[in-house]
Amino acid sequence: MTNQAITYLVGACLGVFGLAAFCALVVIPAVTAYRRPLHRAAAVILSLYVLAALIGVGVVLGALIVVEWPRVF
């Protein structure tokens, strides 16, 4: 395996584990807190909104690290 293939494999595994952790820690408790299907659907949609916000923060922080790395080190 090349170094690039290993990097892609690690990234894919972290993405899958991160999504599974998000579902287990955020989506499932939000869905089980409500009884009506409309409320459950709203909880899932709002959970996806939170996931998008977390991904956005991660992308911004990652870009900041990439841009500022040569100046700091």
SS3 track for 17-61: HHHHHHHHHHHHHHHHCCCCHHHHHHHHHHHHHHHHHHHHHHHHH
- Domain count for the chain, please give it: 1
Model pLDDT for residues 30-57, shown as the tens digit of each residue: 999 999 999 999 999 999 999 999 999 9
Report if pTM > 0.85. no
Domain that holds residue 8: 3-72
